[in-house]
Each structure stands twice: as structure tokens, then as C-alpha cells.
């Protein structure tokens, strides 16, 4: 048993958790969360390519917890594969905020898969997740590494929220769950860069998805699907429902494919919930315009320069931000309304989710899994309880 209270074949590694990309916008927030909430005995470190920036961050963290004065610093660079391999070999869990992941992420995934090191990130990039499955899932299964993508607002509230909803419904029957997202938050340069990158790679994204389907096992005796819904007025939540083309429904579907508790026939649909029809129409139009502009390289470059990676909303703006995801689940003659809710989704709560995911993998009793797995499959109930304790709401609002 190591000093974090876990028994693990990797317990002799010097670090339980290493945060890579710690000096970026979300990286700093995650480091601050760990400094404030990491339990005594958790062996953690911060990593990045600029030692001077890491040293300045360590000074800042010392103001939160004086013990951070001796927090280890690890130099690693996505352009130096040897440094990534060394990082993975020294950690039990690596959490990374370095995106866009399609451009910068694969080296660390490969290093963790080879070293049997658990990996968590914040990606919302479907192409990246599909490519990593095809290229590294098999190796991770051999070494015992758990590769868990989308451990922030993409896609923890939706994945865990759908799972929480399924838990309230009868077992062994067809289930239908719809998720409705509301938020008043803004986004950062890094998030915007990732979105532009995805919009500009529609053909590659489809090709990666098709390649993944050829590699992953077929589901036998059960169905689990996540169709794109159509815009409609959703009486169940009193709002206009606009389909959200994010990675979240794909993640929910993968959890449902992996776990029989989702029943023999499971469907999930994912929407933004907006109060007025003009706002709904305007949102669809804006998304369409952004998608069209992203297909033209000069326009994509110009848009990318409007908000640079590393930029993000200030503390005062984040303090006023919130999110709510309401779920309507039906099956076996029952209908249940649930909600996952919290504060600023893109930054404060995302940093919390990433940090708690890393600590959950490092410290908690979890199912025996390996390879590319979702947060539900890897951590499920344990992560829900952690997030509840950290102030994120999981509740049953009503049931019939």
C-alpha cells in the first residue's frame, strides 16, 4: 500500500498524479484546485516545458498551501517524445490540459499507454478520441492503462448525468434519456481554437469515426445509440431544444455500449435548452456561419486570432457563471427528471472535474478496466460522490 492508501503495481513510482500543462489557463486553475484540495499524502507534481513558469506557479500555489513550496516540477515538452515517456514512467496518473489535443496530444497518450499509466484530459475533439482508440486502445489494454478522455464539462456532467438518470429507472427494459444543457458562461481562446479546428476538419472527423467503428467490437444482443435530434419545443423542460453537435452524446453512447445496466435498448439525445425561439434560431445560424467560415483557411486563421489560447474570462466573470443539465429519462412505465448543476463550466468546474478525476483514479476503489474508457466506465459512482462532495449537484428533481 502506498502513502495515498492504495495498492497498485505502480505504487513505487514517485508521483501519484502529475498535471501536465500546468501553466496554461485551465492548468493554473487545476493546480490551484489540487493545492487547496489534495489530501495529505497525495504525491503530485506539476509539469510543462518552461521551468521558469513552473517555478512561478509553484510560488503562487505556496500561497494556497505552504507545503507546495517543495512541490516537484517536471520538465516535459510535446515536441520531445523522450520527455513524455519519462513523465509517464514516473506517474501513476497523468492529467493534461495541453490542447488542441489533435495537434499536441497523441505523444502523451502513446507514452501513457506504453507505460501502463492512467491518463485523463479535457478534450472535446471527436476526431482525436477516435484516432486514439484505433492507435492506442489495444496497447493500453495490454499494460493496464486507463485512457479517459473528456474529463471536463465535455463530457462529465452529461456522461455521469445520463448514468445517474439510468440508475433511477427500472432495469432490463428499453430506456430513453434526453439531456438539455443551459449555461451563461463564456469560453477561452483554447476552447475556441479547438472548436475551429474541429469545424475545419469535418471530412477527417467522419473518416476517423468510420475507422473506429471498423475496429471496435460489435454490440451483440443490445442496442445503444445517440441520434441527432431535431429542433423542437420541449414541453418537459419548458424551452426550445436545439441539437448540440458536441462529443457528449458519443461519450454517453459508449458508456451505454459498455454497461448492461443501460438496458437492452438505450437511446440518448443531446440538446441546448433556450427560452425563446429567436435565440434558438440565432444560435443555429451562428453555428452554421462559424462552421462555414472554418472551411476556408484564411477565414479560419483570422477567427483564430480573435481569441488566443491562454486567454479566458476573469475570476469575477467566472464567479457569475453557471450551468445546468436537465435529463428526462423514461422506461418501464416510469419517467424521471434529474439535474446536474454547478458553477462556471468551462474553467472553475472543469478544473475541479479534471482534478477529481485524476485523484479518483489514483486513490479510489474502482472497477477493473483498461484501455480507452469513459468516465462512467472507469469511475462511475466514485466520481459522482467526489463531485457531489466538491459542490456539483446530482439530484432527482421529480419522478412519476
- pLDDT at res. 187: 52
* Alpha carbons 152 and 25: distance in angstroms, whole number: 14
Question: pLDDT tens-digit profile of 265-297?
Answer: 999 999 989 886 545 544 444 444 444 444 445
Q: Which residue has the higher pLDDT, 200 or 231?
A: 231
- Give the pLDDT score at 188: 47
- Is it the case that residue 197 has pLDDT exceeding 80? no
Q: Which residue has the cell 481554437?
A: 193
Helical axes 297-304 vs 189-199, angle rounded to 10°? 170
Residue 92 has pLDDT above 90, yes or no: yes
Chain position carrying cell 448543476: 341
Asked if residue 8 is part of any domain, the answer here is no
Report the chain's terminal Cα–Cα distance, integer Å. Answer: 46
Whether 147 and 185 share a structural domain: no
Q: Is residue 105 part of a domain?
A: yes
Q: Which residue has the higher pLDDT, 305 or 126?
A: 126
**Considering the domain boundaries, does residue 5 fall inside one?**
no
Q: Based on the domain organization, do 165 and 274 belong to the same domain?
A: yes
CATH number of the domain encompassing residue 82: 3.40.50.720
| Residue at 69 is within a domain | yes
Same domain, 22 and 65: yes
Write the DSSP string, 229-293.
---EEETTTTEEEEE--SSHHHHHHHHHHH-GGG-SEEEEEEEEEESSHHHHHHHHHHHHHHHHH
Report pLDDT for 277: 57
Q: Which domain holds residue 107?
A: 15-152+349-386
Q: Which residue has the higher pLDDT, 300 or 129?
A: 129
Q: Per-residue pLDDT tens for 242-259?
A: 888 889 999 999 999 999
Q: Are 175 and 292 part of one and the same domain?
A: yes
pLDDT tier for residue 4 given thresholds of 50, 70 and 90:
very low
The answer to whether 38 and 44 have CB atoms below 8 angstroms apart is yes
Q: How confident is the model at residue 193 (pLDDT cuts 50, 70, 90)?
A: low
Number of domains composing the chain = 2
186/122 same-domain check: no
**pLDDT band per the 50, 70, 90 thresholds, residue 323:** very high
pLDDT tens for 209-229 read: 999 999 999 999 999 999 998
Task: Using pLDDT thresholds of 50, 70 and 90, give the confidence band for residue 260.
Answer: very high
Q: How confident is the model over 93-127, as pLDDT tens digits?
A: 999 999 889 999 999 999 999 999 999 999 999 99
Backbone angles phi, psi at 205, to 5 degrees: -65, -40
Q: For residues 45 and 159, what is the distance between their CA atoms, to the nearest angstrom? A: 28
Percent pLDDT > 90 in the chain is 74
Q: Residue 338 maps to which CATH number?
A: 3.30.360
Q: Domain for residue 1, yes or no? A: no
Q: What is the pLDDT of residues 333-384, one digit of tens each?
A: 999 999 999 999 988 999 999 999 999 999 999 999 999 999 999 999 999 9
Q: Is 63 in the same domain as 189?
A: no
Give yes or no for residue 128 having a pLDDT over 80. Answer: yes
Q: What is the mean pLDDT of the chain?
A: 88
Quick check: is 207 in a domain?
yes
Establish whether the linkage from the previous residue to 155 is cis, with ω within 30° of 0: yes
- Nearest in space to 120 (alpha carbons), one of 149, 97, 140, 144: 149
Question: Within this chain, do residues 320 and 231 fall inside the same structural domain, yes or no?
Answer: yes
Per-residue pLDDT tens for 143-169?
Answer: 999 999 999 999 999 999 999 999 999
pLDDT at 79 over 50: yes
d(CA 172, CA 238): 30
CB 105 within 8 A of CB 128: yes
Whether residue 38 is predicted with pLDDT greater than 90 in this model: the reply is yes
Query: Is the same domain home to 62 and 184?
Result: no
Specify the pLDDT at position 189: 46
Same domain membership, residue 239 and residue 204 = yes
- Look up the pTM and report it: 0.90
Residue 328 domain-assigned (yes or no): yes
Task: State the pLDDT confidence band at 55, using cuts at 50, 70 and 90.
Answer: very high
- Residue 279: per-residue pLDDT: 52
Strand partners of residue 268? 177
Same domain for 194 and 321? Answer: yes
Instruction: Give a yes or no: residue 6 inside a domain.
Output: no
Higher-confidence residue of 299 and 53: namely: 53
Same structural domain for residues 297 and 356? no
- Do residues 177 and 255 both lie within one domain? yes
Amino acid at each position: 500500500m502506498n502513502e495515498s492508501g492504495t495498492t497498485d503495481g505502480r505504487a513505487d513510482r514517485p508521483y501519484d498524479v502529475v498535471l501536465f500543462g500546468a501553466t496554461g489557463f485551465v492548468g493554473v486553475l487545476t493546480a490551484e484546485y489540487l493545492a487547496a484540495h489534495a489530501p495529505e499524502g497525495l504525491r503530485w507534481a506539476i509539469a510543462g516545458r518552461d521551468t521558469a513558469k513552473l517555478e512561478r506557479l509553484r510560488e503562487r500555489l505556496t500561497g494556497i498551501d505552504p507545503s507546495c513550496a517543495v512541490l516537484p516540477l517536471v520538465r516535459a515538452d510535446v515536441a520531445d517524445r523522450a520527455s513524455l515517456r519519462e513523465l509517464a514512467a514516473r506517474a501513476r496518473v497523468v492529467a493534461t490540459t495541453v490542447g488542441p489535443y489533435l495537434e499536441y496530444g497523441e505523444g502523451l497518450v502513446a507514452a501513457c499507454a506504453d507505460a501502463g499509466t492512467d491518463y485523463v484530459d479535457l478534450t472535446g475533439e471527436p476526431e482525436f478520441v477516435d484516432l486514439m482508440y484505433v492507435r492506442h486502445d489495444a496497447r493500453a489494454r495490454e499494460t493496464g492503462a486507463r485512457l479517459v478522455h473528456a474529463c471536463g464539462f465535455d463530457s462529465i456532467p452529461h456522461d455521469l448525468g445520463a448514468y445517474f438518470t439510468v440508475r433511477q429507472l427500472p432495469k432490463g427494459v428499453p430506456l430513453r434519456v434526453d439531456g438539455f444543457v443551459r449555461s451563461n458562461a463564456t469560453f477561452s481562446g483554447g476552447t475556441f481554437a479547438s472548436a475551429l479546428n474541429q469545424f475545419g476538419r469535418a471530412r477527417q472527423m467522419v473518416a476517423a469515426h468510420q475507422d473506429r467503428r471498423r475496429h471496435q467490437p460489435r454490440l451483440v444482443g443490445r442496442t445503444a445509440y445517440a441520434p441527432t435530434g431535431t429542433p423542437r419545443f420541449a414541453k418537459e423542460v419548458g424551452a426550445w431544444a436545439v441539437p448540440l453537435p458536441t462529443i457528449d452524446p458519443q461519450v454517453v453512447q459508449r458508456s451505454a455500449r459498455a454497461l448492461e445496466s443501460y438496458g437492452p435498448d438505450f437511446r440518448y439525445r443531446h440538446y441546448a435548452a433556450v427560452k425563446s425561439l429567436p435565440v434558438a434560431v440565432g444560435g443555429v445560424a451562428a453555428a452554421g456561419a462559424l462552421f462555414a467560415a472554418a472551411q476556408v483557411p484564411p477565414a479560419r486563421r483570422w477567427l483564430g486570432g480573435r481569441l488566443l489560447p491562454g486567454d479566458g474570462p476573469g475570476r469575477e466573470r467566472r464567479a457569475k457563471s453557471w450551468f445546468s443539465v436537465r435529463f428526462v429519462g423514461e422506461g418501464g412505465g416510469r419517467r424521471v427528471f434529474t439535474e446536474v448543476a454547478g458553477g462556471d463550466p468551462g474553467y472553475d468546474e472543469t478544473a475541479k472535474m479534471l482534478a477529481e478525476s485524476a485523484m479518483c483514479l489514483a486513490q479510489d476503489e474502482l472497477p477493473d478496466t483498461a484501455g480507452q474508457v469513459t468516465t462512467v466506465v472507469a469511475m462511475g459512482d466514485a466520481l459522482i460522490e467526489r463531485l457531489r462532495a466538491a459542490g456539483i449537484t446530482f439530484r432527482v428533481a421529480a419522478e412519476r
